[in-house]
Chain A
């Protein structure tokens, strides 16, 4: 019942969609849509026969199973690798920043130590002596690059002695903030300032307490900022990177590539959370990342700022990615190639094994068929011989009677009786031969391996003109991989001719005739011929296969067609059945075995 309903549903879809003249494209679309609705059939659509589709399924599955993990691993590795590189880069950067910071720390510390040493090694008087100071300065200048001048300042802020390129002896620093600061602290590092000749300098100073005198002195040295700049360049900077030193107020101490020159205000967009060294990764609005490094320089007002925008680690993954891609592509290609080869081999083996099995089954069936034929033939020979022996004796007896007794008159009755007995025996033989003949006839059909779809197409050619003339829509749904069958092509065509003829007569103008072929089960195929004609009423349908039964008017149609077809079908080992509904249509279903059965 369900099958019937679904058949009707799908027929309706068919009718709806095939309004256009060109049925072939629509047929394909319908088939495709139908296949989608039945996922099992979907891959059938791709694969022509079941081995092809099996191969495709296996390769597809194999590809997914191998490609998906590959893809996952590669992607994960890629991002993990990228992350490692990033981390590594950051670590590297942090190290560089720390290193630089320490170098600068040390630089400062060294100079402060030197100044302290000088203040310890020489007396106030010595240091106040211009000549001595100059001497010391010259000697130190040789060792310490970037040293611009020395200055000794007394507790009142007056520069008592000066060694250097400028004339600064006697300058009063008492109002300067640094002076006040150094009074409090014992050492001092200044911000960068534009010195004379507009060259950036910075100054360092140490205070030496003179407890015997109750006073102190300040030894001050001015250092060229160039030397400091050297240190910032130890950080490996690329195109968009920047490293510079700012003071606590945000004034640039060294020139920055992008944020201004010395003594300009650096607009620090970021919060300065920590002292000492911090390297942070900050996400910008345009989704790129900046590495922002702070390093507080000890004993100084300075902060080393490093802004890294470049992502050299990104380049490596790119290279890595390209290599990876190539390797992946090659692996995929090799993988799929191997998969295809193996699947081919495997499925071909399966196909061969299936074929061998089918062949073995066919062989066994055939052997048993032959065995039963043998038994039958032997049986027949025996069953004919016995009556023959009887006939022989009866006839012999008749001969004897004639020869021995001579006068037949007395034996007339007997004679006639003998003749009757002979008739009986002949009839007995007849029955046997009749049976044998029926059997032989079933085998005597011109059995061949035929393509049912081709057979039907040939039949339809007969009706081309008529169908066109009568404006009948014809649909052929011939299943593509229908197995070839063992049958009698001529007789099958006779049957189809008959049924289609009836369909055409039933349909009249503008109707639909649909012929479809299908596999019914492992052993049988099925042909359905459906028409949208006037149908057969229930009370008549029981009789249609009877001989001489016809619904046509007198003179038209012999009524023999369907009964002959039915008989032929039986001999061929199949069946014909019919379903019909008045004014809706009729479906004739012809079922036949794939392998020829002797009924």
Chain B
């Protein structure tokens, strides 16, 4: 790839990470806020009443139960972030595409939710592992999803499907909804970069009006052949 393209890719990657991190942060903050409010509520309950009825106690338990849930979600989010950031440690490794996509979807969920667009998974079970660059793949998928999120109006859905083919693995991103009339600037330059990256990984990127398809080679041999 040309030097400028490489530079742009680096910038793109930093932007992507920034968005992931801020998404994560906002989500965690939300959970924490909920926890705080809930606990505060219990406190208020305790303070206000002289004696507590069974009902009050039950209510407290309910609140505490929901706090549990929040804690669970937050913790899960933290471990996703952990996994996500560790993916950047090794440029090439064997990993599960489903897992990396699930991670991505969780981390960008809030981002999509803000635009009222739902992200749906349609992952093939037992999808074979692949030897490639997980963080770059996440970057590409994210860029493609982001573009769709910006293009489609609220209440649209984006379906992310994974499927294994003969020699390769396919990730298909299909938006379902209506396109927003004012599209804004189409980042053609970044699309070129994404294509280049996929090619470097031995795969292909197709895009048409309906969907985007990414294929990645399954065998290590295929990868080395392209390089």
Contacts and interface: CB of A to CB of B under 8 A. Distances in A.
Contacts of B6: 359, 362-363
B60 A423 contact: no
Contacts of B17: 370, 373, 440, 443
A185 interface: no
Interface stretch (A91-99, A391-399, A537-545, A580-588): A391-399
Contact of B21 (A358, A388, A415, A440): A440
Interface string B74-108: 11001101101110110000000000000000000
A446 interface: yes
B22 A440 contact: yes
Contact of A391 (B4, B14, B35, B43): B35
Interface string B188-227: 0000000000000000000000000000000000000000
A370 B88 contact: yes
B85 A433 contact: no
Nearest to B22: A440
B46 interface: yes
Interface in B1-33: 3-4, 6-8, 10-11, 13-15, 17-22, 24-26, 28-29, 32
B64 interface: yes
A369 B28 contact: no
A521 interface: no
B21 A439 contact: yes
A412 interface: yes
A362 to B, nearest CB: 6
Contacts of A446: 15
Interface in A428-474: 429-430, 433, 436-437, 439-449
Interface stretch (A155-163, A277-285, A376-384): A376-384
B214 to A, nearest CB: 22
Nearest to A437: B25
Contact of A388 (B4, B60, B64, B74): B74
B64 A399 contact: yes
B18 A442 contact: yes
B54 to A, nearest CB: 9
Nearest to A359: B3
Nearest to B4: A449
B180 interface: no
Interface string B45-87: 0110001100001001100100110010011001101101110
Contact of A385 (B10, B15, B75, B89): B75
A256 B39 CA distance: 138
B57 A402 contact: yes
B15 A443 contact: yes
Interface centre among A378, A381, A416, A449 (most CB of B within 10 A): A381
A288 interface: no
A329 B35 CA distance: 89
Contacts of B13: 366, 370
A419 B82 contact: no
A577 interface: no
A448 B11 contact: yes
A403 B67 contact: no
B177 interface: no
Contact of A374 (B20, B22, B52, B86): B86
Contacts of B68: 392, 395
A226 B36 CA distance: 142
B85 A377 contact: yes
A436 B78 contact: no
B71 A403 contact: no
B23 to A, nearest CB: 8
Contact of A426 (B35, B61, B75): B35
A408 B46 contact: yes
A29 to B, nearest CB: 34
B14 A443 contact: yes
B42 interface: yes
Given A388-B75, A416-B43, A433-B25, A444 B11 contact: no
A140 to B, nearest CB: 106
B88 A384 contact: no
Interface in A482-536: 486
Contacts of A449: 4, 7-8, 11
Given A388-B71, A423-B36, A402 B85 contact: no
Nearest to A441: B22
A596 B85 CA distance: 20
A384 B64 contact: no
Contact of A378 (B20, B67, B82): B82
A422 interface: yes
A377 B21 contact: yes
A463 to B, nearest CB: 24
A409 interface: yes
B82 A377 contact: yes
A399 B24 CA distance: 29
Contact of B67 (A355, A384, A395): A395
A369 B15 contact: no
B58 to A, nearest CB: 9
Contacts of A403: 61
A167 B14 CA distance: 132
Given A416-B46, A429-B32, A596 B64 contact: no
B185 to A, nearest CB: 11
Contacts of A486: 7, 11
Given A384-B78, A444-B15, A444-B18, A419 B61 contact: no
B64 A398 contact: yes
Given A409-B51, A437-B22, A419 B78 contact: no
B88 A373 contact: yes
Given A376-B85, A378-B82, 6 more contacts: A359-B7, A416-B46, A419-B39, A419-B46, A437-B25, A440-B22
23 contacts: A359-B7, A370-B88, A371-B88, A371-B89, A373-B85, A374-B88, A381-B85, A385-B75, A391-B35, A391-B71, A415-B42, A415-B46, A416-B47, A422-B36, A423-B40, A426-B39, A433-B25, A437-B21, A437-B25, A440-B21, A443-B15, A443-B18, A449-B11
Interface of A: 355, 358-359, 362-363, 366, 369-371, 373-374, 376-378, 380-382, 384-385, 388, 391-392, 395, 398-399, 402-403, 406, 408-409, 412, 415-416, 419, 422-423, 426, 429-430, 433, 436-437, 439-449, 486, 596, 598
